[in-house]
Amino acid sequence: MALIKCPECGATISDKAEKRTKCAFPIKSTNIVSPQNSTQTVVVSKEGYFLQTLNTGCMIVVVIILAIIFFLILVSVFG
């Protein structure tokens, strides 16, 4: 059993864990590379669930702001 750092939150966890319990980052689906002559563990993975939802939330906020600006422009032109 090796201890690795969670790419999402940076906590130390077991490489046998399926996911990090606090941030829900999936550990089993990541590619973990551990060189034999090195003490450093490199973890290569996709974005975690938190970052995916953060990106979606930001996109929704931007669309709403653009819709409000478009509405205000229409009101000022035809208003």
Record the tokens describing residue 51, joined without a space. Answer: 């970052």
Full-prediction pTM beyond 0.75?
no
pLDDT per residue rounded down to tens, the chain (79 residues) = 678 887 778 788 877 777 777 777 777 654 555 555 556 666 655 667 777 777 888 999 999 999 999 999 999 999 7
3-state secondary structure 2-25: CEEECCCCCCEEECCCCECCCCCC
Map out the domains of the chain as residue ranges: 1-45, 47-79
Number of neighbouring beta carbons within 10 Å of residue 44 = 9
